[in-house]
Homo-oligomer: A and B are copies of this chain.
Amino acid sequence: MKVKEILEMVENHEISVDEAAILIDNPIDYATIDYNRKRRTGTPEIIYGSGKTKEQIAGIIKNMLEHDQIDILATRVDATKAAYLKKLYPNFNYDKEAKTFILKQSETIQNKGMIVVVCAGTSDIPIAREAVLTAEFLGNEVNLISDVGVAGIHRLFNKMDVIKRANVIIVVAGMEGALASVVGGLVDKPVIAVPTSIGYGANFNGLSALLSMLNSCASGVSVVNIDNGFGAGYMAHTINCLGGKR
């Protein structure tokens, strides 16, 4: 965004004077962006939106755009921040379930292999979508299979064809998180388990699913943080890269 464009937005009352000031002069002393990262690890730095103010996120995006970063992903952007950011950066996509704010300009699918995200219940979908959108952002083909929890295990079996075609499987589940073990026992591909905080009482904000997944009796299962759909999507991408580029 050029200064002139910003000023036009002010003129048109699309943004306030204060907001314009942030965009024009924002030295971001609060952040040390790691532009070297893409060279070092193959992916650009991602913006973790949760503890940051909307102005800080705006500033970091601006700085990235100025450094010609063509793909930008901010996670954990709540509705209020998104409304503010969308006004400034209308060409970004905001997903209100996954709370991701994304600009994706490079080629869509780069890796050969496919990633499947398997999701236990309807309530786990927001986390599953965060995984899906992250992996897609990073250049992967992703399939989402919803509501196949172990209480009705035939629902899972109906989807095994798709699941077995994947290079990597992400399992998203709350409550007792048993789905990760069941899937892990059925496939020969790496499984990334994402415990969610869905449930109540003795689920203790996701602790039950977390411990369950860490103690999985199936081999080939590793775990990311509670509700960390982003982390799972990223990890799956890193693994999927080993299968080669398109």
Contact = CB atoms under 8 A, between A and B. Distances in A.
Interface string A215-246: 11111111111111011101100111111000
Contacts of A192: 222
Contacts of A155: 32, 34
A147 interface: yes
A72 to B, nearest CB: 15
A41 B214 contact: no
Interface residues of A, number: 98
A123 B235 contact: no
A208 interface: yes
Given A43-B219, A121-B51, A176-B178, A184 B151 contact: yes
Contact of A122 (B46, B52, B218, B220): B52
Nearest to A235: B222
A40 B188 contact: yes
Contacts of A203: 211, 215, 225
Contact of A215 (B56, B124, B175): B175
A126 to B, nearest CB: 9
A167 interface: yes
How many of these chains are in the complex?
8
A124 B213 CA distance: 19
Contact of A242 (B167, B220, B232): B167
Contact of A218 (B151, B167, B209): B151
Contacts of A51: 121-124, 174, 198
A200 B34 contact: no
A15 interface: no
A146 to B, nearest CB: 6
Contacts of A168: 242
A238 B226 CA distance: 23
User: Which of the listed residues A167, A180, A224 has the most CB atoms from chain B within 10 Å of its own CB?
Assistant: A224
Sorted nearest first, the 3 A-B pairs with minimum C-beta distance are A51-B123, A201-B226, A178-B178
28 contacts: A30-B146, A31-B122, A32-B152, A36-B152, A41-B185, A41-B188, A52-B123, A56-B122, A121-B217, A150-B181, A151-B181, A153-B153, A153-B186, A176-B211, A178-B217, A189-B242, A190-B235, A200-B228, A201-B214, A202-B206, A203-B225, A204-B211, A208-B214, A212-B212, A214-B226, A222-B232, A222-B235, A242-B242
